Structure 1
Amino acid sequence: MSDDIILETRKLTKEFKGFVAVNQVDLKVKRGHIHALIGPNGAGKTTCFNLLTHFITPTSGQIVFNGKDITGEAPAHIARRGIIRSFQISAVFPHLTVLENVRVALQRKLGTSFHFWKPERSLHTLNERALELLRQVDLESYADNTTVELSYGRKRALEIATTLAMEPELMLLDEPTQGMGLEDVDRIRSLIKKVSANRTILMVEHNMSVVASIADTITVLQRGATLAEGPYAEVSKNPAVIEAYMGSASVELKGAH
């Protein structure tokens, strides 16, 4: 495995009682790149994500991260290696402030999340780092707001801040712009581009305009198998990809240029 490949899957397969959800997928994610996993509904994208974080166990195949086989490792070990999936730690607490949410994530990184008996003032040492993370996602001015008051798009930005608090080497983002209006989509798109500066991002995303504008490499899945891979300009012209999206996202594919 070359140094520029941070994550590789080799013939990764998952069967559920005879149904093959992920079928011999060979994925190579380059270090420092944004890599998008796309495909029609039921293509196996989320199952693939669940395999990478060991939320489910592969039927066969290998997952290699930084040259080490992590196929059989527990989710906590995989997270400690630096593979962090957004929802793992970023289901935000609605009645805590925005700052407190990031501070909880920082505590998890420090391993002090269950030290409830410590006085609250001992947590203030984390405030500076928490504010720095909020600055990165343009939420510093909302630090004292209760999270429930935030718009949906800003809640997703907060999720990215709590993910960053875990210092991921590889960030897995599952549908980061799902359910958003145009303004929020643009905000999150810019944010992903910004936070990708010093890390690698693997994302599942339905919005083709987002994928077209920020992904370096795209892997298209269909019925659990790799249909195509490459930059957007190449993949979007692939006849097999256009056919796979017919009736669902073919318009998006054409309209995202």
Structure 2
Amino acid sequence: MGKNVRVRKLLIGVVSAVAVLVVAAVGVDFGAAIYAEYRLARAIRSEARLTFDPYVGIIGFPFGNQARDRRFKQIEIRANGVDHPIAGKVSYEATLYQVGVPAQSWLINGDTELSVGKVESRIIIDSTHVGRYMGIADLLVEAPPKETNDPTGGTTESGISGNTGLVFTGTPKAAGFDKRVSVSVDLSVVGPDKTTLVFTPTGVLTGAGTADEPVPEDKNDAVLDAFRTALPGQKLPFGIAPTSEGVRGSDVIIEGIAEGVTITLDEFNQS
């Protein structure tokens, strides 16, 4: 009986020691990841001329194996409320997959060139700033009704709607109309450098899910023109060319996806 008790105590001690080592190893790994994220955020802030540290997430466990191999599975970067010379404020997002780091260091410094298997790059303009640019102070932007009502979301993998039939709702005072109306709007990106976002209204909307406000025929063209505009200077992080545009929530988003590129941190902020 006494021998069994001693064996059990020994086993409990061994298991406890192993658990402590595992917890310690996880803690070290977690701490190294946090430090690498902090260093990367500071480097992006400096190189991309930001006034704050962006959010940086190095995804995947264990971090130590990725650092040793100098290849990170996924890195997410987000900077909200960045000053923009035309839109006022924008947010930038980038998701990097299979990020290769030069052999000199497992930390990503300001001058590090990164080889990236795939980049998802986004510029985001909230409806408040779109409305200010349009001159519609109470603007609300929504996805097309067919996508809003679709249980699958009807959106891209990153949650962005299609670019046609968006619902813009607001008071077009410039048209001499003082009631909130809903207008169907299409988005497109044009220009030789594909950096001008064009808003093309196609008709007034009424019924469920809209302001349900009809517009007199003599005011129709003026109301539509109040929602018509072009927003230049929309350069995506890392200079990625746009591949789609739409909305997510009440934000207007331009997204670009590219594979097999080399980037540097100073290219994150293109404004």
Bin the TM-score by the shorter chain. Answer: under 0.3
- Structure with the larger RCO, 1 or 2 (CA within 8 Å, 6+ apart): 1
Structure 1 or 2: larger helix share? 1
Larger radius of gyration: 2
Structure 1 or 2: larger strand share? 2
